Amino acid sequence: MKFPHKLFGRSIEHCQVDSHNLKVLEQHLPCAAYEHPLCVQYDECYFGSSLDSVMTTLKDKGYIINNRAGPFSSSMWNYIGPEKSPSQAVSIRAIEQDRYKVIDKLNSRLLEEIEESKAFFQVYEGAVYMHQGANYLVEELDLASRTAFCRKADLKYYTKTRDYTDINVLGGEFVCSQGYYYSSFLYIFFIIDSSPGVVFSTLFCLLLFCLVYLTLV
């Protein structure tokens, strides 16, 4: 280690987790019910107002069930999920339950797990994926098995997804100070891009829209 003082000399960062997040609750509650039966009436103060709805979702998925043998059968819930220990199924790398695996094709080693909502932005075919300072070229994205196969490559470039934003203004009514109404139906189509020509066109359309608005008002 070249600069140990940067690691050991600084204060520890505060880690904050939103315990009321629905995605967190859906994984936290089975673990809690495995250790001790849950009761909506008494445990809502710990897990938030969404506890009842999340418990219903977990019941439909077959993770918890009412404890009919207990004295509070209508409100006590026990864990009956498929995992012997539900905490083993909780990933510390991704919050979503649906995840994609990133596999090194050379040795079939698991490099990373990526949330499904981010997989198509990071491990699409042809993407350069960085893992622990090394570049990997994604050669295949298997949607059926939720697996991205890649190989280590010495590349002099990187990839980045391009976002397109469409803004449609379909109409509206403008009111002037004298109380007259003007109806103006407008349609503006913007593609926000990094190319200078498109940026200039977007700014020109915005300026034109502002002039029309000020004229009517």
pLDDT above 50 for 127 = yes
Token pair listed for 105: 């094709």
C-beta separation of 114 from 122 below 8 A: yes
Position 52 scores a pLDDT of 86
Position 149 scores a pLDDT of 96
Q: Would you give the DSSP letter of residue 30?
A: H
> Residue holding tokens 């359309």?
205
Position 191 scores a pLDDT of 42
pLDDT above 50 for 162 = yes
φ, ψ of residue 171 in degrees (nearest 5): 155, 180
Q: Percent of the chain beyond pLDDT 70?
A: 76
C-beta separation of 77 from 68 below 8 A: no
pLDDT digits 0-9 by tens, 76-85: 888 998 888 8
Position 202 scores a pLDDT of 62
Complete domains list, the chain, with CATH: 22-89 (1.10.10), 99-152 (no CATH), 172-216 (no CATH)
pLDDT above 90 for 148 = yes
In angstroms, the Cα distances linking 139 to 151, 159, 160, 176 are: 7, 14, 16, 59
Position 2 scores a pLDDT of 80
Average pLDDT over all residues of the chain: 78
Query: Distance from first CA to last CA of the chain, Å, rounded?
Result: 65
Per DSSP bridges, beta strands 147-152 and 99-104 are parallel
> Residue holding tokens 């300072």?
133
